[in-house]
Amino acid sequence: MSSDDLPASGAAPLVARSVSRSLGALPVLDGIDLEIGPGEVVALVGPSGCGKSTLLELVCGLQPADAGTVTARPAALMPQRDLLLPWLDARDNVALPLRIAGTGRKEARGRAQELLDHVDLGRFARSRPDQLSGGMRQRVAFLRALATDRELLCLDEPFGALDAITREELRAWLARLLDERPRGVLLVTHDVEEAVLLGDRVVVLSPRPARVTGTFAVEGARSGRDVADPSVLAARTAVRDALHDAIAAGRGGIP
């Protein structure tokens, strides 16, 4: 068993094989196989409580696997709750991982300001989280995950708890960022449409203990995708069906 083996640079940023994990007596992950290629976005969908966040924490080395292997590049995690530090302004929140990695204050703040400017948040650099809108907070949390420029990004429901319009804007924003600077992404979402609009592949998990019940490829360049594209619609239907099947199987076959 290993949870922090390092793949060579340029290799798949994540390869997980037969990963199992229990929390106390509770089996949460059961023999998960998952791979992310360089620059590939994999969306992870599954019923609430099935173990998605647990899997992300394992990929980021925050939890060990009980069995199986995880070989991953150092990952940046955007956790399910944004966890911005309320006493730091937006710039210092974005700069935080750089400071933790040993970058000097001036340089870290300069890099954070560049990131904020790049997404039109420059004038809010000195605002604290409680002075920002929900969408702005999500973007600041995003930038914090991007600040260290890791090859693997783990995003745990990054657009959760936002209104539909803001979600759409942030989704397009993320697609553009990934076009500019491709990286491996593991994206947890409850939203099947979001999964097929952003993912190169969508992995469907069963109810707890999570097993992979299906993997679906989505065709077409991410930035040009539209919900009305036949290939996107087909992928959405396939993922939705697989999710319903997985949930029904978890209820003992009652749909």
Residues at the interface with Mg ion (CB under 5 A): 52-53, 80
Mark the segment that binds ligand ATP (CB under 6 A) among 19-27, 83-91, 107-115, 215-223.
19-27
Q: Going residue by residue from 174 to 213, which x/- string records binding to ligand ATP, judged by CB under 6 A?
A: ----------------------------------x-----
Closest residue to Mg ion in the complex (CB): 53
Q: How far is the CB of 50 from ligand ATP (least distance, A)?
A: 4
CB-CB contact of 20 with 32 (8 Å): yes
Q: CA 26, CA 100: separation in Å to the nearest integer?
A: 34
Tokens encoding 178: 């990934």
Edge-to-edge strands of the sheet including 184-188? 75-78, 152-156, 184-188, 41-45, 201-205, 212-217
Find all residues with CB under 8 Å of 103, minimum gap 6, and list them: 95, 111
Q: Does 24 bind ligand ATP (CB under 6 A)?
A: yes
Site for ligand ATP in 39-68 (CB under 6 A): 46, 48-54
Find all residues with CB under 8 Å of 1, minimum gap 6, and list them: 64, 65, 66, 67, 68, 69
User: Which of ligand ATP, Mg ion, none binds 208 (CB below 5-8 Å, type-dependent)?
Assistant: ligand ATP
CA atoms within 13 A on the CB side of 84: 27
Choice between 84 and 154, CB closer to Mg ion: 154
CA angle 240, 244, 250 (to 5 degrees): 145
Q: Does 23 bind ligand ATP (CB under 6 A)?
A: yes
Choice between 124 and 207, CB closer to ligand ATP: 207
User: Which of Mg ion, ligand ATP, none binds 51 (CB below 5-8 Å, type-dependent)?
Assistant: ligand ATP
Q: Does 25 bind ligand ATP (CB under 6 A)?
A: no
- The residues pairing with 202 across neighbouring beta strands, listed in sequence order, are 43, 216
Q: Which residues bind ligand ATP (CB under 6 A)?
A: 23-24, 26, 28, 46, 48-54, 80, 208
